[in-house]
Amino acid sequence: MTGPEPASGDRQGTLLVVNCGSSTLKLALFDLRLHKIASVLAEKLEQFQATAHIQGDPAPVPLPSHASHRQALEAVIQALFERGWLTQAPVAIGHRVVHGGERFRQAVRIDDRTREAIADCASLAPLHNPVNLAGIDSTRSLFPGVPQIAVFDTAFHQTLPPRAFLYALPQRFYRQWGVRRYGFHGTSHAFMLTETARLLGQLPEQTSLISAHLGNGCSIAAIDHGHSVDTSMGLTPLEGLVMGSRSGDVDPGLFDFLKTKGIGQDELHRILNEQSGLLGLSGQSNDMRTLCELADQGHEASATAIDVFCFRLARYIGAMMASLRRLDALVFTGGIGENSARIRRQTLASLGLLGFAVDPERNSAHGRQSHGHIESGASRFPVLVIATDEERVIAGESLRLATPHT
Ligand code: ADP
């Protein structure tokens, strides 16, 4: 043992949460009271320098060069056993699955049928669902008989009405191919609903809010009486707000224009997903904290990137109000939403006409460590900062579905 002492004690069992990204693998281990025991990050999978670390343990988990998701998962699980974090098979394993199409309106237990349905959704998320399936297949063979649960990014938004999910395209695209807006970050937005209801002392089904999840990916959702009724991401997680390296909304006419400049399909995909957003605008970084520092040092393009980010967000907050019958709170979450008083202040400064007003002291005081109100007495609506915890939600769903009668 080289790392910190694993928290074993009176543990009755563990829940394992698996989140396979395109080149990353994140694992989290929870006890049955949903306290996090350990987390693991494997990066640069399928590349020469693939690495994996258990948080707080200086000894890396040895991985083969160009480790696949399956190889990384096997190595990490073995290390969790060898180093004492796991002593027996988990009680349940929860998987983050990006796209559930229209098939999945909530989390499900994975069996052969649901596995095939997840595979069928892969055409809607070709970068994500196949690696999510690799994680599912690996843990099913490592832990046969342990309940496996899929929790979908899209599921919470399946309550969107047609007026919000239809694109103004020929309807046959929707009917034949499922071309529509699905929305993502559903686990985080659903968590904002329950936490907002708790903070305001109301029932979730009576709570209406606008939830702004601002991390590397950014999306906003309008939640009316407990149901998602509008959101900024669409068929894919590219639509909507300005993100770290994703453009968010652009004029589709751009594609024809760039073709005349010799920019083909593959390059366009890379530009819109990897070279745009904060990174494209600033020319420096996709990281908001870095851009705030650079802007403070007088770097103009970074200040412009922040301006575009905040203005787009403010416009979307205004737009989301058209979907709501009432508003109990505007909520900020995600790495930027939780930590950056500056971004919250600058965004809300454009929304005075709608009645939002922020209190500078409360705005500075609240962050990742402390949930709370940041509006001033003059604000028409409460404004909250709430730290998201998607892994914990997935662990909770896994426990619920693995032990349905308790
Ligand atoms: P992910 O979407 O990958 O989970 P996070 O939710 O952790 O990412 O958000 C990452 C973003 O949060 C980065 O842009 C980071 O710079 C930003 N962030 C974290 N702390 C701060 C801060 N104090 N000020 C501004 N931005 C911050």
Q: What is the pLDDT of residue 314?
A: 98
pLDDT digits (tens, 9 = 90+) for 282-292: 999 999 999 99
The annotation status of 132 as a binding-site residue, yes or no, is no
Q: Quick check: do 14-152 and 202-390 share a fold?
A: yes
Q: What atom in ligand 1 is closest to the CA of residue 343?
A: 25
What is this structure's pTM? Answer: 0.93
Query: Does the beta carbon of 289 sit less than 6 angstroms from any atom of ligand 1?
Result: yes
Distance 213 CA to ligand 1 centre (A): 11
| Rounded average pLDDT over 52-64 | 93
pLDDT at 84: 93
Which token pair is 169?
């395209």
Mean pLDDT of 34-55: 92
AA letter at 298:
G
Q: With a 6 A CB cut-off, is 336 part of the ligand 1 pocket?
A: yes
336 labelled binding-site residue: yes
What is the whole-number distance in angstroms between the Cα of residue 377 and the centre of ligand 1? Answer: 29
Any ligand 1 atom below 6 A from CB of 376: no
**Predicted confidence (pLDDT) per residue in 243-258, tens digit:** 999 999 999 999 999 9
Nearest CA to ligand 1 atom 3: 216
pLDDT at position 55 is 94
Number of C-beta neighbours around residue 231 at 10 A? 31
Q: Is 286 assigned a ligand-binding role in the annotation?
A: no
Best residue among 23, 284, 290, 340 to mutate for probing ligand 1's pocket (most ligand atoms within 8 Å of CB) is 340
**Has residue 406 got a pLDDT over 60?**
no
Counting atoms of ligand 1 from 1, which one is nearest the CA of 388? Answer: 6
Ligand 1 in contact with 21 (CB < 6 A)?
A: no
Residue-level pLDDT at 5? 54
User: How many Å apart are CA 211 and CA 231, to the nearest integer?
Assistant: 9
Ligand 1 binding pocket includes 217 (Cβ within 6 Å)? yes
Of 118, 127, 228, 245, the closest CA to residue 183 belongs to 228
- Asked whether residue 366 is marked as a ligand-binding residue, the answer is no
- At 38, which helix (H) or strand (E)? strand 36-43
- Residue 245 beta carbon below 6 angstroms from any ligand 1 atom: no
Cα–Cα dist 320/222, whole Å = 6
| pLDDT value at residue 368 | 66
- Per-residue pLDDT at 404 exceeds 90: no
Within 10 angstroms of residue 269's Cβ, the number of other Cβ atoms is 12
Q: Annotated binding residue at 344?
A: no
Establish whether 43 is an annotated binding residue: no
153 is catalytic: yes
Q: Pick the atom of ligand 1 nearest to 286's CA.
A: 14
> If you take atom 13 of ligand 1, which residue's CA is the nearest one?
287
Q: What is the 3-state secondary structure of 311-357?
A: HHHHHHHHHHHCCCCCCCEEEEEHHHHHHCHHHHHHHHHCCHHHCCC
- From the CA of 336, how far away is ligand 1's center (Å)? 5
pLDDT tier, 48 (very low <50, low <70, confident <90, very high otherwise): confident
pLDDT band at 262 (very low <50, low <70, confident <90, very high): very high
Give distance in angstroms: CA of 214 to centre of ligand 1.
Answer: 8
Instruction: For residue 334, give the ligand 1 atom closest to its CA.
Output: 6
Residue 216, annotated as binding a ligand? yes
Residues with Cβ within 8 Å of 364's Cβ and at least 6 positions away in sequence, in order, are: 341
Residue 287 Cβ contacting ligand 1 at under 6 Å: yes
* CATH number for the domain formed by residue range(s) 202-390: 3.30.420.40
**288 in contact with ligand 1, CB cutoff 6 A:** yes
Domain spans of the chain? 14-152, 202-390
Q: Could you tell me the pLDDT band of residue 7, with boundaries at 50, 70 and 90?
A: low
CA angle 357, 332, 305 (to 5 degrees): 85
Q: Which of 153, 224, 328, 389 is catalytic?
A: 153
pLDDT mean across residues, the chain: 93
**Whether the predicted pLDDT of 360 surpasses 60:** yes
Ligand 1 within 6 A of 94 CB?
no
Query: Which pLDDT value is given to residue 188?
Result: 96
How many CB atoms within 10 Å of residue 300? 10
Out of 77-81, 125-129, 395-399, least confident range: 125-129
The per-residue pLDDT for range 365-394, each reduced to its tens digit, is: 877 667 899 999 999 999 999 999 999 999
Q: How far apart are the C-alpha atoms of 174 and 27, rounded to whole Å?
A: 35
Angle, vertex CA 133, rays to CA 80 and CA 167, nearest 5? 135
pLDDT for 3: 45
**What share of the chain has pLDDT > 70, as a percent?**
96
| CA-closest candidate to residue 213, choices 323, 334, 374 | 334
What's the 3-state SS for 265-318?
HHHHHHHHHHCCHHHHHHCCCCCHHHHHHHHHCCCHHHHHHHHHHHHHHHHHHH
Q: Whose CA is closest to atom 8 on ligand 1?
A: 215
- Which residue matches tokens 């987390």? 39
Ligand 1 close to Cβ of residue 292 (< 6 A): yes
Share of the chain above pLDDT 90, in %: 89
Residue 11 pLDDT level (bands cut at 50, 70, 90): low
39 strand-pairing partners? 28
List the Cα angle 48/54/57 in 5-degree steps: 110
Q: Name the band, by pLDDT with cuts 50, 70 and 90, for residue 124.
A: confident
The architecture in CATH of the region 14-152 reads 2-Layer Sandwich (3.30)
Report whether pLDDT(65) > 90: no
